[in-house]
Structure 1
Amino acid sequence: MGLSGKSRLRVRYAETDQMGIVYHANYLIWFEVGRSEFFRDLELPYTKFEEQGFSLAVIEANCRYRKPAHYDDELEIITTIEKITSRSITFLYDIYRDNTLLAQGKTAHLFINKEGRHTDIRNTDLWAQINCLLTKTDLRL
């Protein structure tokens, strides 16, 4: 596997339905939490992407629900880079309560510029920072 990070959160009441079970769309929000915290832990928060004129556009998202999460559960989100190029990045997610796997997911993203166009970040400071991190962790580009 590639470079990964862990995030923790507690299920809020507003994220559940009348039965106290987490509404399915919230898992996609938690994937974003995982991505954001992952990049922040690498000292590459999304604000650095934006300062350099780039964003990550979601082009694919899926989730496999295995067991339900409930109000007040403490969850761990493991976010892993599956694949990265100078034009795109794909993440994998595992969401756990204690040692129980609740959900698995995947999102694919394109690097886009300020005009919203798909772009190659190879000749940018951002790519140099990402490449340095990946080289340190032995994840090949």
Structure 2
Amino acid sequence: MGVAHHSNYAVWFEVGRTDLIRKVGLSYSELESRGFLLPVVDLHCRFLSPARYDETLCIWTWVGEMRGPKITFCYEVRRASEDTLLARGETIHFWTDRNLKRLNLERKEPRLFQLLSERIFSRQTEE
């Protein structure tokens, strides 16, 4: 069909989320080594225009909400050549320990909570 399969958007969201976490000073693997996991509990995507094969895309990512153990990441997928919005979505996660017990990040790791809080409603890009 000449368009990217819809399942790629979830992967692109993960790339944007991982890059955003890296930009606050930690890699996702460092989070895991500290005992923090961030499982996806919900994913929404609204497709507005198709991404075509071999296009350069920008993934805009920001924290939409962070409360208790819950964090929501928001995304926009855009065609880089003309800044066309192709899709928007969000993923909802819970901070957990290795046993998948929910954690309150603000109490458990206040510095990381502060760094992520600064990214609320602040779009970051990844190409």
Q: Report TM bin, short chain.
A: 0.7 to 0.9
In the superposition, the TM-score normalised over structure 1's length comes to 0.76
* Counterpart in the other structure of 1:59: 41
Which of 90, 103, 108 is 2:72 aligned to? 90
Shift of 1:137: 7.9
Residue 80 of structure 1 contacts residue 92 of structure 1 at CA under 8 Å; is this kept in 2?
Answer: yes
* Counterpart in the other structure of 2:110: 127
**Within 1, Cα distance between the matches of 2:14 and 2:71?**
14
**Within 1, Cα distance between the matches of 2:106 and 2:117?**
14
Mark the CA change 1:137 to 1:79 in structure 2 (over 3 Å): closer, same or farther.
Answer: closer
**RMSD between superposed Cα atoms in Å:** 2.1
Q: How does 1:39-58 map to 2 (within 5 A)?
A: 39-58=21-40
* Counterpart in the other structure of 1:118: 102
Asked which structure has the greater CA Rg, the reply is 1
What is the DSSP-based 3-state SS (H/G/I as helix, E as strand, rest coil) of the residue aligned with 1:123? helix
Identity %: 34
Q: Tell me, yes or no, if structure 1 residue 109 matches structure 2 residue 93.
A: yes
* Counterpart in the other structure of 1:21: 3
Shift of 1:37: 0.7
Shift of 1:129: 2.6
Gaps spanning 5+ residues in structure 2: where?
A: 123-127
Mark the CA change 1:138 to 1:102 in structure 2 (over 3 Å): closer, same or farther.
Answer: closer
Shift of 1:60: 0.7
Shift of 1:117: 1.6
Aligned length: 120
Residue 90 of structure 1 contacts residue 108 of structure 1 at CA under 8 Å; is this kept in 2?
Answer: yes
Gaps spanning 5+ residues in structure 1: where?
A: 1-18
